[in-house]
Chain A
């Protein structure tokens, strides 16, 4: 019973405090609020470390059980150890092995993974963008105008193309996004209130 009731009570008290402190100028309240912000950052840092250990555990399990592609898990673990050792032993300043690995291994690979999306987006547009309905046609025309209006060539064809793209972005598209923001804001406030009041408990996990 106490395994859930105490955390829910803590969530309620601190949630209420977080809400009320916004409207209170008292120095004691501001001081307590600052201290809590500090605590959240420290706890979150430990949470990230837990995540790292978890990845280590998952890959070790894969190796022990000889699951599919278990050999690649060895690569992951060795890479993790080498990178961590480089950072802890030599530091993270300019010219260190840590920075060398980051600049020549991590950054190029990560950038390239996302650069693959250019090809996938082109293929998806070619396969999926069809004038099937009114809504699809509006979507297609807006996309084409933005793609043409946001490149220098669009302006060379006609001045109206970039002007239309500007208008689309700052008027109809903006107003739809604004409505979505307002909707998300209302939904987020509702969810936050449910968390504070203990109605929403999924973050506590199962008993």
Chain B
């Protein structure tokens, strides 16, 4: 059997077993914290108790398995601190996902819609939406997701623009955090943090290093770190054993194939 020319379906089967079997076992692995995730945690911890936090669900359904644990951890942290949360979405699919997430986590902590959190929904053309919220959020969202007029009464009626928002968190699976940094951060001096898929994470290190992003939660591992900081076991920590074995399989396959190739050359 030529190990360098295995049918790809054998690779698929090996990966399925490598990732599937660890999910049957309840083992909690120690998760090493990274500075980027800790900075997001500290940023939320330093928000004033009366301050508002905006969380933007800039995601699509395709990345939900990876991004959901990040969003859940962030929302749990915010509601645990009795922070008032404004949710919105700049991708259409993120609209329903974001509403579902924010409502379910708020319910866990006994938080009420309109008093502890509101959800504004979707706006197209994210650059315009981000820029205009720097002038007047109410002109971008005259009504909330449930078509209520949130601008007239309630604790959120006083929120006008980014000056009233202490922190914006973009939970993303694409390049939306770049636009938050360029338009809300650069123009209006808004503090931005992000939780995003691992595939996008390497692209945002220049922004964390320059201070344009206060921090970054990258992928399922980032979610596991945040859960560890909060002291609970969620989707991130549950997936670490399967993640580890999946990586080890791929590393082993690559090393094996190269070792065989090097031996053949000699």
What is the chain B residue whose CB lies nearest that of A150? B221
Residues of B in contact, count (CB < 8 Å): 60
Task: Assess whether B62 is in contact with A114, with CB atoms less than 8 Å apart.
Answer: yes
Q: How far is the CA of A48 from the CA of B126 in the complex (A)?
A: 13
B246 in the interface (beta carbon within 8 A): yes
The 9 closest A-B pairs by CB, nearest first: A152-B29, A44-B125, A110-B61, A114-B62, A174-B205, A151-B244, A37-B132, A178-B206, A107-B61
Q: How far is the CA of A169 from the CA of B246 in the complex (A)?
A: 21
A97 in the interface (beta carbon within 8 A): no
Residue numbers in B under 8 Å from A150 (CB-CB): 198, 221, 247
Contact of A37 with B128 at beta-carbon distance under 8 Å, contacts A153-B248, A177-B202 already known: yes
- Among B6, B96, B100, B198: residue with most chain A CB under 10 A: B96
Give per-residue flags for A151-178: 1 if the beta carbon is below 8 A from chain B beta carbons, else 0. Answer: 1110110000010001001100110011
Chain B residues in contact with chain A, CB under 8 A? 6, 8, 11-12, 15-16, 19, 29-32, 34-35, 60-65, 93, 96-97, 100, 103, 123-125, 128-129, 131-132, 135-136, 139-140, 146, 187, 198, 202-203, 205-206, 209, 221, 240, 243-244, 246-251, 253-255, 257-258, 261-262
Residue numbers in A under 8 Å from B62 (CB-CB): 110-111, 113-114
A203 in the interface (beta carbon within 8 A): no
A102 in the interface (beta carbon within 8 A): yes
Task: Assess whether B205 is in contact with A177, with CB atoms less than 8 Å apart.
Answer: yes
Partner of A125, one of B96, B129, B136, B250: B250
29 contacts between A and B (CB under 8 A): A30-B135, A33-B135, A34-B136, A34-B139, A37-B132, A38-B140, A48-B124, A102-B96, A110-B93, A114-B63, A119-B11, A121-B250, A122-B12, A122-B249, A125-B253, A126-B254, A126-B257, A129-B257, A140-B254, A140-B258, A144-B255, A151-B244, A152-B29, A152-B30, A169-B202, A169-B205, A173-B202, A174-B205, A181-B206
Q: Which residues of A126-151 have CB atoms within 8 Å of chain B's CB atoms?
A: 126-127, 129-131, 140, 144, 147-148, 150-151
Q: How far is the CA of A108 from the CA of B258 in the complex (A)?
A: 37
A88–chain B nearest beta-carbon distance, Å:
14
Q: How far is the CA of A103 from the CA of B93 in the complex (A)?
A: 11
B51–chain A nearest beta-carbon distance, Å:
25
Residue numbers in B under 8 Å from A113 (CB-CB): 62
Residue numbers in B under 8 Å from A119 (CB-CB): 11-12, 15-16
B214–chain A nearest beta-carbon distance, Å:
15
Task: Assess whether A152 is in contact with B240, with CB atoms less than 8 Å apart.
Answer: yes
A contact patch SS: helix
A207 in the interface (beta carbon within 8 A): no
What is the chain A residue whose CB lies nearest that of B136? A34
What is the chain A residue whose CB lies nearest that of B14? A122
Q: How far is the CA of A33 from the CA of B243 in the complex (A)?
A: 48
Partner of A144, one of B12, B16, B136, B251: B251
Q: How far is the CA of A126 from the CA of B50 in the complex (A)?
A: 53
Residue numbers in A under 8 Å from B34 (CB-CB): 166
Task: Assess whether A170 is in contact with B136, with CB atoms less than 8 Å apart.
Answer: no
What is the chain A residue whose CB lies nearest that of B146? A93
Contact of A148 with B251 at beta-carbon distance under 8 Å, contacts A115-B65, A131-B262 already known: yes
A123 in the interface (beta carbon within 8 A): yes
A76 in the interface (beta carbon within 8 A): no
B180–chain A nearest beta-carbon distance, Å:
15
Residue numbers in B under 8 Å from A156 (CB-CB): 29-30
A41 in the interface (beta carbon within 8 A): yes
Task: Assess whether A41 is in contact with B128, with CB atoms less than 8 Å apart.
Answer: yes
Task: Assess whether A111 is in contact with B140, with CB atoms less than 8 Å apart.
Answer: no
Partner of A170, one of B93, B205, B243: B205
Contact of A147 with B12 at beta-carbon distance under 8 Å, contacts A107-B64, A130-B258 already known: no
Residue numbers in B under 8 Å from A45 (CB-CB): 124-125
A190–chain B nearest beta-carbon distance, Å:
17
Partner of A34, one of B15, B129, B135, B203: B135
Task: Assess whether A118 is in contact with B64, with CB atoms less than 8 Å apart.
Answer: no
A94 in the interface (beta carbon within 8 A): yes
